[in-house]
């Protein structure tokens, strides 16, 4: 497959395939999903210190399942899968989904990653609809609705500059959070800027925060005194 502008329309970027895989190209930048570069973070001595893994952890569940409702390039899903979750990923933009699918296919042939990506499933489509049509109740729903754009473009990572050509920060926070809660998870984990507001104004049960990111955790009440997360 060569250039595929049809996947991105007239948004100033296009998909190109080369010897290293599929890439999004535009504005003099090249963006490629590459799980191999995350291998140092997957080491057992580091994985347990990952803030997302700590925030998503559920106790007493032998085979936990997670839904990443805003998969993007799949890096957070990879961390969740390495942490033991079977992860269903939703990505609605066809170009971003193509980048993620290409990364999954390449990782499946890498013995260092094949076991982890074997627990990751990509669904191309709208996660609000997908969450309401799940055939199971996930243990965790993860939301990364993209941070609002900052006034200084230099403060935005280069990869997000390209992704913003395709997807904008979430403008339906209430609908997204409502669908996540309606799926009946043990917890909803939401990625936010360290000093950013709560998603849809919903107060979290607790937060796990670092210098660059904060994970707000909402633990819905479980009927009948169900197992806690």
Annotated binding site: 144
Residue 44: CB partners within 8 Å, gap ≥ 6?
A: none
Alpha carbons 20 and 13: distance in angstroms, whole number? 18
With residue 175 as reference, give the H or E element that holds it: helix 173-182
The dihedral built from the CA positions of residue 125, 172, 146 and 198, taken in this order, carries a sign that is: negative
Residues at the binding site for S-adenosyl-L-methionine are 144
SS3 category, 66: strand
SS3 category, 203: coil
């Amino acid at each position: 497959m060569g250039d595929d502008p049809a996947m991105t329309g007239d948004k100033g970027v296009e998909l190109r395939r080369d010897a290293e895989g599929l890439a999004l190209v535009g504005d003099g930048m090249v963006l490629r999903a590459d799980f191999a570069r995350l291998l140092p973070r997957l080491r057992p001595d580091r994985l347990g210190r990952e803030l997302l893994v700590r925030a998503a952890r559920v106790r007493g569940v032998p085979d936990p399942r997670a839904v990443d409702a805003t998969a993007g390039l799949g890096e957070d899903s990879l961390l969740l899968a390495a942490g033991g979750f079977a992860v269903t990923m939703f990505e609605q933009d066809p170009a971003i989904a193509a980048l993620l699918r290409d990364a999954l296919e390449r990782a499946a042939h890498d013995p260092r990653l094949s076991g982890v990506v074997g627990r990751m499933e990509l669904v191309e489509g709208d996660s609000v609809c997908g969450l309401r049509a799940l055939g199971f109740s996930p243990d965790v729903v993860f939301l990364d609705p993209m941070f609002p754009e900052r006034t200084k473009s230099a403060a935005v990572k280069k990869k997000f500059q390209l992704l913003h050509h395709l997807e904008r920060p979430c403008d339906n926070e209430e609908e997204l959070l409502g669908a996540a809660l309606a799926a009946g998870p043990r917890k909803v984990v939401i990625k936010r800027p360290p000093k950013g507001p709560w998603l849809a104004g919903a107060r979290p049960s607790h937060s796990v925060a670092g210098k660059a990111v904060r994970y707000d955790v909402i633990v819905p009440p479980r009927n009948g005194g169900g197992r806690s997360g």
